Amino acid sequence: MDKAPNFCTGCGSPFPWTGSALKAAHDLANEIKQISDEERDILTQSLDELMKETPQTEVAAIRVKRILRTAGTEAADALKRILIEIASETAKKLIFG
């Protein structure tokens, strides 16, 4: 079975399941106490870029991977579970190998 798409091909809006997962990722990013406020802002902005294939996808993936190293195992694992569902294939390869 193919994975459900993240975005409407007609208008480009995220489907409800994508929006819900992205909100959960943002909420989780705001709960990570091991990162600075600046890193938290970078992380939440980068999460949006991971869902689509753009020139910024690689930059965002590298930033997320770097920040996840300092986020603590529990938070990093939870965020990874969310990203596996909504991140683009390029982002997943760059973050998870």
Q: Which structural domain range is residue 38 located in? A: 16-96
Encoding tokens for residue 31? 């709960």
Domains held by the chain: number: 1
Instruction: Look at residue 33 in the predicted model and tell me its pLDDT.
Output: 92
pLDDT tops 80 at residue 71: yes
- Residue 51 falls inside a structural domain: yes
Helix axes 16-31, 37-50, angle to 10 degrees: 160
- Residues 67/75, Cβ–Cβ less than 8 Å: no
- Residue 64 falls inside a structural domain: yes
Q: What is the mean pLDDT of residues 1-7?
A: 68
Average model confidence (pLDDT) for the chain?
Answer: 89
Q: Can you give the pTM of this predicted structure?
A: 0.84
- Residues 75/28, Cβ–Cβ less than 8 Å: yes
Label residue 8 by pLDDT band (50, 70, 90): confident
- Residue 1 falls inside a structural domain: no
